[in-house]
Amino acid sequence: MDRRSTCEPETAVLFERSGDTVQVTTIEKPVRFLLVSGKPLNEPVAWYGPIVMNTQEELQVAFEEFNNGTFIK
The answer as to whether 53 is a domain residue is yes
The answer as to whether 57 is a domain residue is yes
Total count of domains within the chain: 1
Start-to-end CA distance of the chain, whole Å, equals 45
List the domain range (segments joined by +) for residue 69. Answer: 42-73
The answer as to whether 70 is a domain residue is yes
Alpha-carbon gap, residue 34 to 14, rounded angstroms: 12
Helix (H) or strand (E) holding 51: strand 51-53
pLDDT 10s digits, 8-49: 888 888 877 677 788 888 888 888 888 888 888 899 999 999
The answer as to whether 4 is a domain residue is no
pLDDT at 50 over 80: yes
Alpha-carbon gap, residue 19 to 56, rounded angstroms: 35
Question: What was the pLDDT predicted at 1?
Answer: 58
pTM beyond cutoff 0.75: no
